[in-house]
Amino acid sequence: MDAVINFGPGAVEAGLPVMIADIIKGNLSIKPQKQNDFNALNGNIYMLASDAGIGMTMAFENGMLTVHSGKVGNPKISISADSATLLDLANIDIKFGLPYLFDQVGKGVIKKFLNSQLKLEGLFTHPVMLIRFAKLMSVK
Fold of 4-137: Nonspecific Lipid-transfer Protein; Chain A (3.30.1050)
Q: Which residues pair with 60 in a beta bridge?
A: 43, 65
Which band of pLDDT confidence, cut at 50, 70 and 90, is reported for residue 3?
Answer: confident
pLDDT of residue 61: 95
Q: Where are the domains of the chain?
A: 4-137
pLDDT of residue 118: 95
Q: What is the pTM of this model?
A: 0.92
pLDDT digits (tens, 9 = 90+) for 50-59: 999 999 999 9
pLDDT > 90? residue 90: no
pLDDT digits (tens, 9 = 90+) for 126-137: 999 999 999 999
pLDDT of residue 1: 56
Question: Which residues make Cβ contacts (< 8 Å) with residue 34, sequence separation at least 6?
Answer: 27, 28, 135, 136
Torsion of CA 123, 129, 130, 132, to 10 degrees: 160
Element (H, E) at 83: helix 83-88
